Amino acid sequence: MESDSSVFEYATRLPNELFRENREKFIKSFRETVPSHQKALLVFKGKDELPIDSTDIDYEIKQESFFYYLFGVQEPGCSAVIDIENQKTYLFFPKLDDIYKLWMKVPSQKEIEELYPDFEHKFLEELEQWVQEFNPSKVYINKGVNSDSGLTTTIPQFKWLDDLTVDDSTMHDILAECRVVKSQLEVKMLELANDITSESHIWTMQQCKPGVRESYLASKFKAFGQEKYNCKILPYFNICACGPNPSTLHYHVNDDILPEVGMCLMDMGHSVHCYGADVTVCYPCNGKFTEKQRQIYDLVMKASRVVMKALRPGVSWVDMHLLAERVNLEGLKELGIVKGDIDEMLEARVGFIFQPHGLGHLIGLDTHDVGGYLPSDPPRSDKWGIKNLRTSRVMEENMVVTVEPGCYFIPSIIKERAVDIGIDIDKYIDVEKAMEYRQEVAGVRIEDGVVITADGCRNLTKVPRSVEQVEACMKGENWKDLPDFKL
């Protein structure tokens, strides 16, 4: 992989410059949006250790994303305060007695100052008194609801906040908007994550064969990134689906045995200190595409490449989703699976029946990154399929998104949900023909991470994509000299 040296450079921590740029961007935006901020404080809470149920064993910690975006602090139990008037940042670190050194690595005050030189450092136990002495005119906290999960952000729960004037409605949208468009350093981290993820996928493809378990491939992928590049925490729970399982969009069981004839859908990623990749590859379990598998695979690849060709600043993500649906329906019509006028089918939402998920999503510190539906953005559609989009935004330079069209043959969707939506099945869908494909292709999804450039987009993902490349790669042959997928 071309980026080996860069990956090792960032194996332990990311540069403070990255977080300094993030912080300066946010402070500038906050001061412009909230001009009256004299003696105001912005208070942030990082992730605490999280016990597994009632035990004294903790989950692996991924730092809270907003906190990490601004401060780059990996350690749990920290808080931070920004004096917005003077643009000064204070890090409050828990003070641990020496006895803790028996069980864990405890950084000294000097080590903390060396790790985070941009801040004034204090102990967490001093926070309440320090704020009281500062006597802020107002305290802002980052409270907001994630538009994907419906869950509320992590907010400070300090009792002493009850005695202060607290604003919990202003900061979130400003900070979320800052995270949508990436800095050049952030794009570099996301590219590194895609490099590692791509190499891990290639390795995993070469371990694939009928008779192994899905979890075997999942473990190969995770171990490759961790052993070679120190990628310890996956950005999301990996999906390793074979046979009929690719038709379950968020299949997390990873328990079945790979059949002789069937497709693997591998939706897996690695992260470089929270900046993650989300890549999906599909390939036949036995390493050789059948005719039906190739037809659907090439159809989805065409949708992917047509969208990438059209992506650029100023285009609507909703329009890109509908473009992918159009390509799908045109291909399915050629195969005799759907029939009728393409525009009519798009309006009737037949595209949803074969691609029930959204085209893709913003990606960054979170796999489904924030900013999808902020108040200033176009609202979520109420139409089937389109309402599943994780954003309706217009694309901007240096946004990073996934492009992940798919084509699935899901009996309950084709036979039942279509009726619920009001689709005339007899008019538009040859159900018997669709079920013939179901036997060999439960579902195909192709997912790449792309950065929006000034005049188009750049694909950050580097895996074999043409049928010829995939088959060669699975045999351990040199696939890079073979032609890529062409429109």
Q: Give the residue among 212, 237, 220, 200 at the shortest CA–CA distance from 287.
A: 212
- Tell me the per-residue pLDDT of 102-127, one tens digit each, with 9 for 90 and over: 677 778 888 889 999 999 999 999 99
Q: What percent of the chain clears pLDDT 70, i.e. is strictly above it?
A: 98
- Tell me the per-residue pLDDT of 284-295, one tens digit each, with 9 for 90 and over: 999 999 999 999
Q: Give the residue among 402, 363, 408, 369 at the shortest CA–CA distance from 385.
A: 408
| Stretch among 45-59, 165-179, 189-203 having the lowest mean pLDDT | 45-59
Confidence class for position 269, pLDDT limits 50, 70, 90:
very high
Instruction: Quote the DSSP letter at residue 250.
Output: T
Residues 180-198 have a mean pLDDT of 97
Whether the pLDDT of residue 2 is over 70: the answer is no
Tokens 């029939």 correspond to what residue? 339
CATH, domain range 184-474: 3.90.230.10
> To 10 degrees, what angle do helices 467-474 and 291-310 make?
120
Whether the pLDDT of residue 70 is over 70: the answer is yes
Provide the CA 95 distance to its chain's centre, in angstroms.
34
Residues 293-302 have a mean pLDDT of 98
Residues 366-377 have a mean pLDDT of 96
Average pLDDT, the chain: 95
Dihedral angle sign, alpha carbons of residues 83, 84, 85, 88: positive
Domain limits, the chain: 4-180, 184-474
Confidence class for position 100, pLDDT limits 50, 70, 90:
low
Instruction: Quote the DSSP letter at residue 280.
Output: E
- Tell me the per-residue pLDDT of 454-463, one tens digit each, with 9 for 90 and over: 999 999 999 9
| pLDDT score recorded for residue 292 | 98
Rounded CA separation 188/182 (Å): 10
Whether the pLDDT of residue 3 is over 50: the answer is no
| pLDDT score recorded for residue 4 | 54
Whether the pLDDT of residue 466 is over 90: the answer is yes
Instruction: Quote the DSSP letter at residue 145.
Output: B
The strand pairing partners of 403, in sequence order, are 448
Rounded CA separation 316/93 (Å): 43
Burial track 332-342 (b if 16+ CB lie within 10 A, e otherwise): bbeeebbeeeb
Whether the pLDDT of residue 403 is over 50: the answer is yes
Residues 391-395 have a mean pLDDT of 98
| Token output for 184 | 């050049």
Please name the helix (run of DSSP H) or strand (run of DSSP E) that holds residue 403, with its range, or none.
strand 400-403
Provide the CA 419 distance to its chain's centre, in angstroms.
32
Q: Give the residue among 358, 355, 343 at the shortest CA–CA distance from 414.
A: 355
Which distant-in-sequence residues (6+ apart) come within 8 Å of 223 by Cβ? Answer: none
Q: Beta-strand (E) ranges in 94-220?
A: 120-123, 138-141, 166-167
Instruction: Quote the DSSP letter at residue 440.
Output: T
Contact 214, 240 (CB under 8 A): yes
Whether the pLDDT of residue 171 is over 50: the answer is yes
Whether the pLDDT of residue 446 is over 70: the answer is yes
- Tell me the per-residue pLDDT of 79-88, one tens digit each, with 9 for 90 and over: 999 999 999 9
| pLDDT score recorded for residue 209 | 96
| pLDDT score recorded for residue 101 | 66
Q: Give the residue among 79, 67, 134, 75 at the shortest CA–CA distance from 100.
A: 75
| Stretch among 52-66, 274-288, 359-373 having the lowest mean pLDDT | 52-66
Q: Give the residue among 405, 363, 378, 404 at the shortest CA–CA distance from 318.
A: 378
Q: Which CATH architecture has domain 4-180?
A: 3-Layer(aba) Sandwich (3.40)
